[in-house]
Chain A
Amino acid sequence: MTTRTALLPRRCARGRTRRTRAVIATSALLSLATLILTVGLGEYPIAPGDVLLSLLGRGDPSSSFVVSELRLPRALVAFGVGAGLAASGVILQGLTRNALAAPDLVGVSAGAHVAAVVVIVALPDLTIAMLPACAFAGALLASALVYALAWRDGGSSPSRLLLIGVGITTLGYAIVLGVISSIDELIHASQLVTFMAGTVYGRGWQELATLAPWLAIGLPLALLSARQLDSLMLGDDTAGALGVRIEAERLRLLALAAGLAGAAVAVAGPVGFVGLMAPHAARRLAGAGHAAVLTTAVMLGGCLVLVADAAARTAFAPVDIPVGVVTAIIGAPYLIWLLTSRAR
């Protein structure tokens, strides 16, 4: 079971800074390249050059329309969802000192999902802009439950946290299936089953506008919390000695993680394993300082969902597979590999 040891810094300061900058820069370039390449993919392939032209407003009308009205907003939503889940994962992992604490494994995504489904079914006329707020509430509730159950005797056992997370996720899944099974509008039932897998089909500028504010506030907040996360990593006693007010910090960070994951789940459903893979990859590449890890993870998470969605919508064209299916196909073996290859 990976614990703190995997999360401590491994390199000396100077080399780390140079390398970190390189990693961040590369991630940014990678993000841009991935965006351009995946936007070009689809039933009507558009070459990267044309994509660029369309983005700059100088492409031909047909491809410009496809790019700017259909593929670009969907790609940006996918990227945003990946970014939010990755950031949430980084925070949760730092907060619990547990490298496996991803929003979907700890119950945060499940809470958001249940809330979103209940609201969609019970309040069908509610505007889509309100959905992230409701999902946030659900994620908070789930987080509070997990916190209350997992934190005992002044600390949390990493293993206990995950087990409780699995329990909450199972419960959430059962509730959602109960709802899906009993609603009368059959059209909505099948839409909800697709939502359960995590999907960005049909997500456009409106969904992006719903997601963006949460990321615009949450991501910088997360970055600002990097220092606290670094301190918490050193253990409760050390952090306390360094002047960090532990419980308050923890709650605040938990809320932040819930907000980021909640917004992502509200827009795309519970896309799995992103909040696990992106932080891990980021940590391996960018070291252990949370500022660097957050920045890198956000971009890697975005790229991951972008690529997954590109695969999902082209593999079985014209059928659009939910992106969550692809992230699970990549992520589950990755997680199992993590479990079997690392030392305890």
Chain B
Amino acid sequence: MSPAAAAALRRRAGSRRLPGSLLIVLGLGALALAAFASLVLGATAIAPTEAVAALVAFDGSAEHVAVAEVRLPRTAVALLVGASLGVAGALMQAVARNDLADPSILGISMGAALATVAGQIVVGVDSAVLLVALAMGGASVAAAAIVAVGLLGRGGFAAERLVVAGAALSGLLLALVQGLLVIDRESLEAARHWLAGTLTGAGWDDVAATLPYLAVGAVIATAITRPLTTLGLGDDVASALGVRPRPVQAATAVAIVALAGASVALAGPIALVGLAVPHAARALVGRDIGPQLVACSVLGALLVVVSDIAARVLLAPEELPVGVVTAIVGAPVLLHVARRRTHRP
């Protein structure tokens, strides 16, 4: 297809939707609002003016400290986790050509989780940096397993095969986590909050430990946008256009592992964000990878921040794990998408 034709196609597709610039403004606006709400709401509501004052005219009062030292880092982590999972999900769905792919469904989140739990229980690892590295390792192994399933046997990376394999893998990894928790009783009591993903206690040092990996993921995601779009036209077409599928897929996999693994290291295995967000993004901006990734990062961040607010407010002063809220939001999306599918031969 000639570049001119491709551009024309894109313009036509884009013109059916709202102008991109408007969407970006709306999205960022919503995100800013949500982030601010996250500073204001919580176990105790803090007046908006106080929240602003805490950021610009810090006076050391209890409320200001709560905003600056507790809610601000927590909101930041929520934004990062949401954006990462959203982007990871979009990348997975693009590279596998499978709109049901998601780090939690395909077992990658649970792989990272098992690695960190095993590290803490079996080896007694306690440094944040090491734990993040373990999360990366676990996510990589799980990703390798899923890729292996996709490559072996017939059916390739078809949705159903991959989802079932992912369910099996997640089931296995979760069972191993539970086995470890039963052996180490003291972790069992505390893990009940973490198993679904939680942002309690999130701090700047967590961010620091995961930043390298998030950066790698982000950089790769940006760089890979064009080749991935080309790949979307089909392996053969892409090769003809000079884009070799395997390196692109491998790079995408690295980005996915980095982003998903970092999210688990930050907040535990949060479910279904990577599934729901890309679907919403595609509804708004179309299938083009570039806009999709941008939309996914914004929408993902939005989803997790809002879910975290709900998690803190619903049972105040106790907190629900944020993953419970995202799963309750994401499951209907999953069901809806699954329902819409027609049987592919």
Instruction: Consider the complex of A and B and state whether they touch directly, i.e. have CB atoms less than 8 Å apart.
Output: yes
Q: Are A336 and B320 in contact, CB atoms less than 8 angstroms apart?
A: no
Q: Are A163 and B338 in contact (CB under 8 A)?
A: yes
Beyond A167-B331, A341-B153, A344-B155, whether A197 also contacts B196 by CB under 8 A is: no
Q: Does A223 contact B (CB under 8 A)?
A: no
- Which residues of the partner chain B approach A160 to less than 8 Å between Cβ atoms? 338-339, 341, 343
Q: In angstroms, how far is the closest chain B Cβ from the Cβ of A265?
A: 15
A105 on the B face (CB < 8 A): yes
Which A residue sits closest to B145, measured CB to CB? A336
Q: Is the CB of B331 within 8 A of A324?
A: no
Q: Which of A125-133, A169-177, A246-254 contacts B (4 or more CB under 8 A)?
A: A169-177
Cβ of A159 < 8 Å from any Cβ of B?
A: yes
* A340 in the interface (beta carbon within 8 A): yes
Cβ 8 A contact of B171, one of A158, A164, A273? A273
A339 and B164 in contact, given A163-B159, A171-B328, A319-B183 (Cβ under 8 angstroms):
yes
CB neighbours of B145 from chain A (8 A):
336
> Considering the chains assembled together, what is the distance between the CA atoms of A333 and B152 in angstroms?
14
B100 at the interface (CB under 8 A from A): yes
A343 within 8 A of B: yes
By beta carbon, the residue of chain B nearest A159 is B160
Q: How far is the CB of A140 from chain B (nearest CB, A)?
A: 18
Asked if B282 CB lies within 8 Å of chain A CBs, one says no
In the complex, which residues of chain A have a beta carbon less than 8 angstroms from the beta carbon of B171?
Answer: 104, 272-273, 328, 331-332
Chain B proximity mask over A315-343: 1 for CB below 8 Å, otherwise 0: 01001111011011101110110011111
CB pair B331–A170 under 8 Å, yes or no, is: yes
The answer to the question of B178 belonging to the interface, with a C-beta cut-off of 8 Å to chain A, is yes
B149 touches A163 (CB 8 A): no
B interface bracket (residues with beta carbon within 8 Å of A)? 35 or more
How far apart are the CA atoms of A186 and B193 in the complex, in Å?
12
Q: A40 CA to B206 CA in the complex, in Å?
A: 50
Q: Identify the stretch in A62-70, A75-83, A187-195, A211-219 within 8 Å (CB) of chain B at 4 or more residues.
A: A187-195
Give every chain B residue within 8 A of A232 (Cβ-Cβ): none
A61 within 8 A of B: no
A152 to B338, alpha carbons, bound, how many Å?
A: 12
Mark B219-248 against chain A: 1 for CB-CB distance below 8 A, else 0: 000000000000000000000000000000
CA distance in complex: A339, B323 (Å): 29
B271 part of interface (Cβ distance < 8 Å): yes
Is B16 close to A, CB under 8 A?
no
Q: Which residue of B lies closest to A191 (CB)?
A: B188
Chain A residues with CB below 8 A from B41, complex form: none
Q: In this assembly, does A1 line the interface, its C-beta being within 8 Å of a C-beta of chain B?
A: yes
Which residue from chain A places its CB closest to the CB of B160 in the assembled complex? A159
Measured in the bound complex, the distance between the Cα atoms of B184 and A193 in whole Å is 13
A: which residues have CB within 8 A of B? 1, 100, 104-105, 149-150, 152, 157-160, 162-164, 166-171, 173-175, 177-178, 180-182, 186, 189-190, 193-194, 196-197, 272-273, 316, 319-322, 324-325, 327-329, 331-333, 335-336, 339-344
A-B contact pairs, 5 of them (CB 8 A): A149-B339, A159-B159, A174-B271, A177-B323, A341-B152
